[in-house]
Structure 1
Amino acid sequence: MFGLGMEVGIDLGTASVLVFIKGKGIVLQEPSVVAIDKNTNQLLAVGEEARRMLGRTPGNIVAIRPLRDGVISDYEVTERMLRYFIQKTCGKRRFFKPKIIVCVPSGVTEVEKRAAIEATEEAGGGRAHIIEEPIAAAIGAGIDITRPDGNMIVDIGGGTADIAVISLGGVVASKSIKVAGDTFDENIVKYMRKKHNLLIGERTAEALKKEIGCAYPKKQVTKMECRGRDLISGLPKTITTNSEEMLEALEEPVILIAEAVHAVLERTPPELAADISDRGIVMTGGGSLLEGLNKLIEERTGIPTYIAEDTVSCVAKGTGIALESFNVIEKSMMSSKSFRKK
């Protein structure tokens, strides 16, 4: 279908970028962070190397996350980041430009879709296409979206949580909310500030979320040391926090996600709702790994909720399968307007 040139799928996420190349699989997974020298506008680092600089840079260096809430917030920096990743995975010297599918959240506007396409093409890609994240996530999770059956996907990334009911290759009902992994981190920072007068950084909040964060009460309380700056004395301080405090800190965002799932189910046709009740809800994305989140959604909806295998890579894998069977996917997506070709 695509003809000559490499065929590439990009999961352009708020927290990380994954690149899939047809015939090779996932070849890159890096944080969506770029470090730039403000004085010279020189690109100093991209990906993991830049992420290590977050909160630790001098005045002339700024570490930027150019995507916010699942969409491009800094066009120029996003383009430079994409150019770096495309060159790293596809090589600098290419006779034919790679053909690329880029994932975007389901709730983005036409302007935001156009920005993603143009940034990809300006970064060195050939003809670019857009696929919505819930569709790609469902394909990557091993669901046959072309069948007349109802499937519910809850894709929780860094910037957005996309909830969608999919049948016959199209989205029947969906909701995208700007509550996801980044919101979890922000709530932990706010909680530690309010409860312990301790100012912690983004990376510390992320570590707390991964190690002891939970959305449902644990059988056994877990503890972790947390270092930051005391807001009263202004000096470094170390405290011990636990999973019960993290449960309290994360209560608001996880309830918002559960309510969004409920809202989509309310708008789902009864036949498809019956299918979902039998098949269960499938969760994908890094945010779905928050311990107990699937239990919370299951308790709120009464529907079995499962976390997909290799959940972080589902969207990128879905783009790869879309590349491999592009004719079928394009036909079904065009009919539902969930897949748009330039």
Structure 2
Amino acid sequence: MKLEERQFISLDLGTSNVLAYVSKKGVVYNEPSIMAYDNLTNTLIALGYDAYEMVGKTNENTRMVVPIKDGIIADMEAAKDLLKNIFNKLKMMDIWKGSVVLLACPSGVTELERDALKLVAMDLGAEMVVVEEEVKLAAIGAGININLPKGNVVIDIGGGTTDVAILASGEVVASKSIKIAGTSFDEDIKKYIRSEYNVNIGSKSAENVKIQLGSLGKYNAERSMSVYGRDIVSGLPKEALVSAEEIRNVLINSFSKITDLFIELLETTPPELAGDIIKNGIILCGGGSMIRNVEKYFSDIFSIPCKVAKDPLLAVINGSKELEKQIFTKIENGFYGKNGQKLKQINKFM
């Protein structure tokens, strides 16, 4: 198949959501990463939003599966099943044959974990799979010209991991990743409500509390909300009334680990790039950047300007769209090997 005839597919396989982009068609899928299987027949019965609605409401014959955790394939067969069913549902399975696929991954993944990501796409018929770091794609998607010889910082707060990176001259200069992100925020809220009110709540309830009340600074019209769960002593249904201030304290405790990670990264940053960072500020991406006052939180701590990307949830996939032409140019120039590994640098590529 000629290079210009190949389809381009980019995938952001997140712990919380899967996003898929197809050349000339745009974003064709954006739904939760969860799947539901029938244990008796081992068949898939729901995925995406349909499966998400089943969380916490299934019987013993149903198991819920999240095939990608922290940007890593946790269940290879389920991951293949997920992509097959997504594209079958879209009636687009045929586009995989001979395609070029761009996959986003967290900064901390190993080569073995990258190969596992590639294998999933190759098994579906892709001819070449390129893996790029999420923070690089997010920076491009946020509108940063990463090719200039100046430093920019991106903090991508996803569902399973938070990635912090400094980018300059077209590449990631330094990066760090931590498994503190959206799902861990939910777990911290669950733990707090359990310890403070003796009430067990589900993950969906905790996520709803985060969305409705979550903040990193005081805001207008703060309120409290009722959450419902099971009393850990009696086992009976119980209601707990939680306030915005309580949830803020929980989230600030969680975010302190992200700020510690950022400080560690800054300690290894060359002085010239550090100066650029002070001028250019911090760009925030991912679902975690939608928590109220998150930009003020980071700005106050580091005395550095901070802003949230225009489309924080789509920053990674938007960045991959921007790279489409460049990736085909690199393929033509022999930058990539057969399996998508980088072989050589091309000057003035972007």
> What is the TM-score when the length of structure 2 is the normalising length?
0.91
1:77 offset after TM fit, Å?
A: 0.7
Mean CA deviation greater in 319-328 or 105-114 = 319-328
Deviations 1:222-271 (A, max 9, x none): 22121111112211122221111101222321100111112212211111
What pairs with 1:217-228 in structure 2 (closer than 5 Å)? 217-218=218-219, 220-228=221-229
Aligned residue pairs: how many?
338
Match of 1:15 in 2: 16
| CA 291–229 in structure 1, closer or farther in 2 if over 3 Å, else same | same
Unaligned 5+ segments in structure 2 are: 344-350
| Separation in structure 2 between the aligned mates of residue 322 and residue 86 of structure 1, nearest angstrom | 22
Deviation sequence 1:29-74 (CA, Å, 0-9, x none): 0100011111211011111111111111110111111122221111
CA distance in 2, matches of 1:101, 1:141: 18
Identify the residue that residue 32 of structure 2 maps to in structure 1: 31
Partner Cα separation in structure 1 for residue 341 and residue 291 of structure 2: 32
So what's the TM-score if we normalise by structure 1?
0.93
The amino acid across from 1:246 in the alignment is I
Give the structure 2 partner of residue 280 of structure 1: 281
Q: Which whole-Å CA distance do the structure 1 matches of 2:342 and 2:318 have between them?
A: 20
Please tell me whether residue 232 in structure 1 is matched to residue 212 in structure 2. Answer: no
- The 1:281–1:195 alpha-carbon spacing in structure 2 relative to 1, beyond 3 Å, is same
Summarize the Cα distance change of 1:61–1:123 in structure 2 as closer, same or farther, 3 Å threshold. farther
Mapped pair 1:42 → 2:67:
no
In the TM superposition, what is the alpha-carbon distance from 1:316 to its structure 2 partner? 0.6
Which residue in 1 is equivalent to 2:348?
none
Aligned position for 2:196 = 195
Q: Partner residue of 2:160?
A: 159
**What SS does the aligned partner of 1:53 have?**
coil
Judge which range, 157-166 or 36-45, deviates more: 36-45
Matches within 5 A, 1:1-342: 2-89=3-90, 91-94=92-95, 96-218=97-219, 220-326=221-327, 340-341=341-342
1:278-314 alpha-carbon deviations (Å, 9 max, x no partner): 1110000111111222222112211011000010000
Contact 1:70 1:104 in 2 (8 A): yes
Which moves more between the two structures, 190-199 or 15-24? 15-24
Contact 2:10 2:101 survives alignment (8 Å): yes
Determine helix, strand or coil for the equivalent of 1:172.
Answer: strand
Deviates more, 1:304-313 or 1:16-25: 16-25
| Larger mean Cα displacement after TM superposition, 79-88 or 57-66 | 79-88
Q: CA deviation at 1:124?
A: 3.9
Q: In 2 relative to 1, CA 205–330 (structure 1 residues): closer, same or farther, beyond 3 Å?
A: farther
Rounded Cα–Cα distance in structure 1 between residues aligned with 2:331 and 2:239: 54
Per-residue deviation, 1:123? 3.1
Range 75-84 or range 162-171, more displaced:
75-84
Q: Distance in 2 between matches of 1:159 and 1:167?
A: 26
Take 1:61 and 1:15, find their aligned partners in 2: how far apart are those partners?
Answer: 20
Mean Cα deviation higher: 287-296 or 170-179? 287-296
Q: Percent same amino acid among aligned pairs? A: 37
Task: Output the CA distance in 2 between the equivalents of 1:90 and 1:3.
Answer: 22
Moved more, 289-298 or 85-94: 85-94
User: 1:250, 1:133 → 2: CA distance?
Assistant: 23
Q: Kindly indicate whether the alpha-carbon contact (under 8 Å) linking 1:25 and 1:317 is maintained by their aligned counterparts in 2.
A: no
In the alignment, the residues of structure 2 paired with residue 213 and residue 2 of structure 1 have an alpha-carbon distance, to the nearest angstrom, of 47
> After the TM superposition, which of the residue ranges 250-259 and 206-215 deviates more from structure 2?
250-259
CA contact 1:281–1:303 (8 Å) conserved in 2: yes
Residues 164 and 215 of structure 1: CA distance in aligned 2, closer, same or farther (over 3 Å): same
Q: Give me the CA root mean square deviation.
A: 2.2
SS of the equivalent of 2:227 reads strand
How far apart are residue 87 of structure 1 and its match? 3.1
What residue identity is the alignment partner of 2:179? K
Q: Is residue 7–residue 95 contact of structure 2 (8 Å, CA) maintained in 1? A: no
Letter in 1 for 2:164: I
Query: Which structure's relative contact order is higher, taking Cα pairs within 8 Å and 6+ residues apart?
Result: 1
- Displacement of 1:154 in angstroms is 0.3
Structure 1 contact 199–229 (Cα < 8 Å) conserved = yes
Residue 220 of structure 1: how far off its partner (Å): 4.7
C-alpha distance in structure 2 between counterparts of 1:94 and 1:169, whole Å: 30
CA deviations 1:157-179 (Å, max 9, x no partner) are 00000000000111111110111
* C-alpha separation in 1, matches of 2:301 and 2:96: 54
Decide whether the 8 Å contact of 1:218 with 1:243 is kept in 2. no
